[in-house]
Chains A and B, each alone.
Chain A
Amino acid sequence: MNLEELRTRLGTTRPAPVVRESAASPEAIPGGMLEQTNRGPCLVVETTRGHEEEHGSHQFMALRGLRPFRIGGVLAGIGQDGPHLERVAYLDTETTGLGYGAGVQVFMVGIGSAEPDGFRVRQFVLRHPGEEPALLLALSEYLSGFDILVSYNGRAFDWPLLENRLILNRVPPLEAQPVHLDLLYLARRLWRARLESCGMSTVEQAILGVDRGSKDVPGYVIPSLYFQFVRTGSLGLLRRILHHNLYDILSLAVLTAHVERVLADPWGGTVSHAVDFYSLGRLYNALGEVDGAVACFETALSHDLPPSIRDEAVLRLAMIEKRRSNWQMALPLFESILDRSQFERIACVELAKYHEHVAREFGPAMQLTDRALRADGRLDRWPGTDRMELLHRKRRLSGRVGNVTPGPSPPS
């Protein structure tokens, strides 16, 4: 069966031929060059931003000699002592689709790095899918000069996809895998409470003050722009994608510097929003850095906060103080959220525990347990607020209340 017969049987007609522009020549793209590999040429587009140049509210200067140790520490990827971990690469890819299927290609890989003359971005570009082995070889070669890889969702997406492509093109994997820091994880921790999304476009605007202007294209149209570029050879389309990818990398790099400074000293002027201190408090608390957590929660609470966040900050602070047996601090905090419907149950439970186990005042403990049982229990994620547990507490307390039990003996 030939093509003509196939068309007839499928009831379609011959489509209009694609008009091709001249082949994408590297010279036509500023910074473009062809890198030769033993599996063919790969287009590389290089852009350098001077140290003094600005990206949003930051200068690229901030990236000179930056070692994201604190980020690494939080992400538990590297310890605090990593003098050999010098070279940081910022990575972002453009792909022909979402998901990890074998048919999803990585057609552009941008790598940013701080260099003596400024911040340099090298973009490895597939002019057509036949150049994929060359791109992967050139990329592997280039990446071997770096120790740390910083990405935004790269651990879950870009990197596994690149691994797929290596397998598919029989290109050997990198000999030394760089340490991979995925900033998205931290961004979520830091800004989820305040921002609608933690996508790069939202974060760069809200946190870095970056405005891409009208030239930029939204991420979801990129695959179709690329397909059009491959079919028509139109360089205009490619430039728009290059621009988008460049900005993603510039923002990623600057964001890395920003987060590193935030983690180094939240009070150093880098955090301007009270909600962010609350998020930092939660982050430090999760890392077990209790003093830092307390300080952050206290800073957050000394400013205006949305009511639900305020209450949650109070509760979390109270929990820390309780764990440190600092009841003087913890009790008023728990009491202050007793009337908040969302927190009533947990506050009652915690106060009841105090009265039962610390103060040994079973009457009040019983009253608080009853109140907890009446309270709205939707916030069940707190341990100890389960209805069964409350009923168990109540049974135990009613035994104790019935007996003559001494309260704490007054100091004589």
Chain B
Amino acid sequence: MNAEQLINQLLEEPDFAASVTAYRALPARDGRYVGFPQALDQRLVDALERRGIHQLYSHQAEAIQHALSGRNPVIVTPTASGKTLCYNVPVVSSIMANSANRALYLFPTKALAQDQLAELQVLVESLGIELRSHTYDGDTPADARRAIRQAGHIVITNPDMLHTAILPHHTRWVRLFENLRYVVIDELHTYRGVFGSHVANVIRRLRRICNFYGSNPQFICCSATIANPAQLASNLIEGDVELVDQNGAPSGPKHVVLFNPPVVDRQLGIRRSAVLTARGIARSFINNGIQSIIFGRTRTAVEILLTYLRADAPDHRRDSIRGYRGGYLPQERRAIERGLRDGTVRAVVSTNALELGIDIGGLDACVLTGYPGTIASAWQQIGRAGRTSASSVAVLVASSTPLDQYVITHPEYIFDSSPETGLINADNLHILLSQIKCAAFELPFRDGDNFGRTDSTASFLEYLTEAGLLHRVQDSWHWMSESFPAEEISLRSASTDNVVIVDYERPTQVIGEIDRLSAPTWVHDEAIYLHGGVQYQVERLDLEEKKAYVRRVDVDYYTDAELAVKVNVLEVMGSDGQARSHGEVSVTYLPTIFKKIKFDSHENVGWGKIHLPEDTMHTRAYWLWLPTEVSERLPLKEVEVGLAGLANVLANLAPLYLMCDPRDLRVWPEVKAPFTGAPTIFLYDSIPGGIGFSTRLYDMHETLLRGAGDLVARCECAQGCPSCVGPQFDGAATSAKLQALRLLDVLLTARPLAVAS
């Protein structure tokens, strides 16, 4: 049975059909083809023909034409639409025309870089010309580096490496920078938020260096579907771009099903778990031999699903079901990717790690366990199922969170509305200051120099001079410090340090790694760490050594850690004086306890304390509060319940209005916040320095609150449920739903409400 037949059969089962909130059959699309541009070297055309490419898709031809004519194309087409050719053709062609020409490819991860290298080399081999392409990353051996610097035509790397290894050592890369014709930025949509804001500055630095050596490269960007690819690209490279978004690639029919697990307890508003539901659906795909990918929202979800699906599978299929996520070692990942391409891996359970353009071929079916948070991600994941001619199936299984419930009951949101906006703020104060340090290290600034489009470059230079890092002499500003700024500054977050996970019973065995910020909640002492479906218990987390020591265990639970958060207002940057403000805050996190949660039943079977130091982050926040004359007249308990409920709604709804990843925004309610002296809800950017989300929320205050009121009022539950104000427990003295609505009313009318008798 193929995927299409299976989904049709499932749709005929009443139980299944009852839970389907939307079903769309996206028709097959014919390809649109165009001949090769005249300007291309005939040898290149011949080589492509030998590889079976006799024509270009229309979007490829368009992009290539832009690139060959000196413009900066931004290509936005779905997964597997031949984006690689859009940049490889103009780049290879320019090097064939002049072997001095150079190109730089940027991919957000090392894995993607490896993938591209392989593809490029196949093309170059069939051309039979001398064109050297290399990856340059942390894994490149020292002796190979010199050769690459001198003679590599195409250097494939990542922004982090450009930042710490290439730009600060530009005198070793004279040949590259003197002759740089093209800079390729693939997976453009990943360069948003703090990472994108840093990368925009790295590109400013790149331009300075190119300018010094007399080159002025063009940029070719590729992106998954987002609302503003051209704007994001143009902000990132600070230049004009040409949008190419008319996909000319053919695709087979695709069946997309939105599935809302049934309510199992109407009183509590509890639905069947998304994980267990996805397990059932994925199992029927796997049992019917349909090659599938199952996405989980979190690393834990991936490991739990993997454990379930392996347990469900017949013996001979068990090994062909694999897990995939950050933290698996590269060799392991490469093997899984190969297995997916050659068909030996029949199912893979993955985090969004496989959302990016890693080549795993097209699969037949895809199950999304929970809405991945953004429309762009959802379509990227759905796009993993898809063949050029055969049909494919994608099922989105909603969880009980308000966001999922909103999306699953408003199918038009996914099918018809515009996807997210990629926001960056290259002039974020902290990011800019860090990056100007790096830039000053690389080349002295001169009076009148601007760093990209920053207009206050001179103030920053004066500031750094006062701080003793620069020295001004005549008309220039020179680096005057022993430090190496790029090494101290991470593009990705407050810290790039990874904590290595070691199986101490097999001392040489590093089984994985985890970023420093996640470590306190993931690998605290006594945590259960799941890796490849195997359970490990953390014996000791050593944050100084950056190691977590684990041992294999066999238990029937997993762990879930809780954080205590403190928000301090540092500076108010805007306020209506009554109910809302925005400004700079510092947020302190302290992991407190962890709960032990049983597999299958998901019941709480115990807990423990976490003993770790707190972490602090400076960022931007938007906060709203109740007038004290109202809150003082309400019973504390009611305010507490209402506030928590409202916070839950806002946490889930705000990303929808902002069209950002929910993880970029955090919410924290306080019954009596020290700063306002009143019941307050803080919404803050979960990024040091902030990106601007909270400022935008401040501006859309009323829309946001009205939306929240609408969602709570319309929810089918009685007293409140996970889909609106959050899970409620039996015997609650007061209705969270009612309290949240009452607070909303106060906030919206900004007038005291009659106190309920």
Residues of A within 8 A of B440 (CB): 103
Minimal beta-carbon separation of B303 from chain A (angstroms):
40
Which B-chain residue is minimally distant from A220 (CB atoms)? B482
CB B174 to nearest CB in A, in angstroms, measures 6
Can you name the residue of chain A whose Cβ is closest to the Cβ of B461?
A3
Check A167 against B429 for contact (C-beta < 8 Å).
no
How many chain B residues touch the partner (CB < 8 A)?
Answer: 37
User: What's the minimum C-beta distance from A8 to chain B, rounded to whole angstroms?
Assistant: 9
CA distance A196 to B580 in the complex (A): 67
Query: Are A102 and B441 closer than 8 Å at their CB atoms?
Result: yes
Name the interface size band of chain A: 20 to 34
Given contacts A224-B482, A227-B481, A230-B480, contact A2 B172 (CB under 8 A): no
A102 to chain B: which residues have CB within 8 Å? 168-171, 441-443
Task: Check if A1 sits within 8 Å of B471, measured CB to CB.
Answer: no
Residue of B at shortest CB range from A7?
B463
8 Å CB contact of A103 from B172, B442, B467: B442
Chain B contacts with A in 476-524, Cβ cutoff 8 A: 476, 478-486
Are A130 and B480 within 8 A (Cβ)? Answer: no
Which of B169, B463, B478, B486 sits near A3, CB closer than 8 Å? B463
- Is A10 in the interface zone, CB < 8 Å from B? yes
- In Å, the complex CA distance between A346 and B462 comes to 66
- A interface residue numbers (CB < 8 A to B): 1-3, 5-7, 9-12, 14-15, 96-103, 105, 128-130, 163-164, 167-168, 223-224, 227, 230-231
Compute how far the CA of A14 lies from the CA of B462 in the bound complex, rounded to whole angstroms.
11
A-chain residues with CB within 8 Å of residue B479 when the two chains form the complex:
96, 103, 105
A-B pair count, CB < 8 Å, reads 92
Looking across the interface, which residue of chain A has its beta carbon closest to that of B433? A10
State in angstroms the CA–CA spacing of A163 and B467 once bound together: 29
- Which residues in A have their C-beta under 8 angstroms from that of B466? 3, 14-15
* A230 shortest CB reach to chain B, Å: 6
Contacts of A5 in B (CB 8 A): 459
Taking the complex as formed, is B413 at the interface, i.e. its CB lies under 8 A from any CB of chain A?
Answer: no
Is there a chain A Cβ closer than 8 Å to B473's Cβ? yes
When distances are taken between beta carbons in the complex, the residues of chain A under 8 Å from B486 are: 101
Interchain residue pairs with CB less than 8 A apart (22): A2-B456, A6-B429, A6-B459, A6-B460, A9-B429, A10-B463, A11-B570, A14-B466, A15-B467, A97-B482, A97-B484, A102-B168, A102-B169, A103-B168, A103-B484, A105-B479, A129-B444, A130-B476, A130-B478, A164-B171, A230-B480, A231-B480
Tell me the complex Cα distance, A227–B470, Å: 10
- Closest-by-CB residue of A relative to B213 is A167
Residues of A within 8 A of B485 (CB): 103
Known A2-B459, A3-B463, A129-B478: A168·B443 in contact at CB below 8 Å: yes
Across the interface, name the chain A residue whose C-beta is closest to B474: A130
Q: A103-B440, A129-B444 are in contact. Are A227 and B468 (CB under 8 A)?
A: yes
Whether the pair B456, A6 counts as a contact (CB closer than 8 A) is yes
Cβ-defined partner of A96 (8 Å) among B460, B467, B468, B482: B482
Contact of B172 among A3, A12, A100 (CB under 8 A): A100
Cα–Cα distance between A3 and B463 once the two chains are bound (Å): 6
Within the assembled complex, what's the spacing in Å between the Cα atoms of A254 and B498? 49
Q: How far is the CB of B478 from chain A (nearest CB, A)?
A: 4
**How many angstroms between the C-alpha atoms of A161 and B492 in the bound complex?**
30
CA distance A379 to B482 in the complex (A): 41
> Chain A residue with minimal CB distance to B168?
A101
* Interface of chain B residues 145 through 203 with chain A (CB within 8 A): 168-172, 174
Which A residues lie within 8 Å of B484 (CB)?
97, 99, 101, 103
List 5 extra interface pairs beyond A6-B460, A103-B484, CB under 8 A.
Answer: A6-B463, A10-B429, A15-B468, A98-B482, A100-B169
Contact A168 B171 (CB under 8 A): yes
A127 CB, nearest partner CB in chain B, Å: 9
Known contacts A15-B466, A102-B170, A224-B482, A1 near B443 by CB under 8 Å: no
By beta carbon, the residue of chain B nearest A101 is: B168
Q: Which of B456, B466, B471 has the most chain A CB atoms closer than 10 A to its own CB?
A: B466
Chain A residues closer than 8 Å to B174, beta-carbon distance: 167
Q: Is the CB of A103 within 8 A of B463?
A: no
Complex-state Cα separation, A9 to B432, whole angstroms? 13
Chain A residue contacts of B473, Cβ below 8 A = 128-130
Contact for A230 among B170, B462, B471, B571, CB less than 8 A:
B471
Query: How far in angstroms is the closest Cβ of chain A from B676?
Result: 22
Q: Which residues of B contact A1 (CB under 8 A)?
A: 456, 459
Closest chain A residue to B427 by CB distance?
Answer: A1
Q: Is the pair A163, B171 in contact by a Cβ cutoff of 8 Å? A: yes
Who on chain A is nearest to B458 by CB?
A3
Least CB separation from A102: chain B residue = B442
Chain A neighbourhood of B476, CB < 8 A: 129-130
Residues in B neighbouring A101, C-beta threshold 8 A: 168-169, 441, 484, 486
- State the CA gap A12–B465 with chains docked (Å): 13
Q: How far is the CA of A6 from the CA of B466 in the complex (A)?
A: 12
For A98, the chain B residues whose CB sits under 8 A away are 482
CA distance A258 to B216 in the complex (A): 53
CB-CB under 8 A from B481, the residues of chain A are 96-97, 103, 227
Residue of B nearest to A16 (CB): B466
Interface contact A128-B471, CB-CB below 8 Å = yes
A12 — which chain B residues lie within 8 A by C-beta? 467
- Specify which chain B residues have a CB less than 8 angstroms from the CB of A129 in the assembled complex: 444, 471, 473, 476, 478, 480
CA–CA, A9 to B618, complex, Å? 12
Which interface residue of A11, A103, A167 has the most chain B CB atoms within 10 A? Answer: A103
Min distance, Cβ A233 to any Cβ of chain B, angstroms? 12
B169 partner residues in chain A, CB cutoff 8 A: 100-102
Question: Complex: how many Å from CA A12 to CA B433?
Answer: 13
Contact with A along B276-287 (1 / 0, CB 8 A): 000000000000
Q: Which residue of B lies closest to A11 (CB)?
A: B570
Give the residue name and chain of the A residue nearest to B471 (CB). A230
Q: Collect the chain B residues with CB atoms within 8 Å of residue A164's CB.
A: 171-172
- A99: which B residues are within 8 A, CB to CB? 484
- A14 surroundings in chain B (CB, below 8 A): 466
A9-B583 Cα distance, complex, nearest whole Å: 11
Chain A minimum-CB-distance residue to B475: A130
B571 surroundings in chain A (CB, below 8 A): 9
- The 7 A-B residue pairs with the shortest CB-CB distance, nearest first, are A103-B441, A129-B478, A103-B479, A130-B473, A164-B171, A1-B456, A97-B482
A128 to B442, CA, bound (A): 17
> Contacts A14-B466, A100-B169, A101-B168 known; A231 to B459 CB distance under 8 Å?
no
Inter-chain contacts of B462 with A (CB < 8 A): 3
Q: How far is the CA of A90 from the CA of B440 in the complex (A)?
A: 32
B202 shortest CB reach to chain A, Å? 15
Give Cα A7–Cα B471 distance, bound, in whole angstroms: 18
A12 to B: closest C-beta gap in Å = 8
Query: Shortest Cβ distance from A134 into chain B, in angstroms?
Result: 12
CB <8 Å contact, B471 and A231: yes
Bound together, the chains give a CA A384 to CA B205 distance in angstroms of: 54
Q: CA of A164 to CA of B443 in the docked complex: distance in angstroms? A: 12
The residue on B at minimum CB distance from A166 is B171
Give chain B nearest CB distance to A5 CB in angstroms: 8
Residue among A1, A98, A223 with the most chain B CB within 10 A?
A1
Interface centre among B171, B433, B460 (most CB of A within 10 A): B171
Q: Which residues of chain A have C-beta atoms less than 8 A from B471's C-beta? A: 128-129, 227, 230-231
Give Cα A6 to B429, complex, Å. 9
In the assembly, what is the distance between CA of A100 and CA of B473, in Å? 23
Q: Which residues of B contact A128 (CB under 8 A)?
A: 471, 473
Contact among B170, B172, B480 with A227 in the assembled complex (CB-CB below 8 Å): B480
B463: chain A residues within 8 A (beta carbon) = 3, 6-7, 10
Q: State the CA gap A264–B478 with chains docked (Å).
A: 48
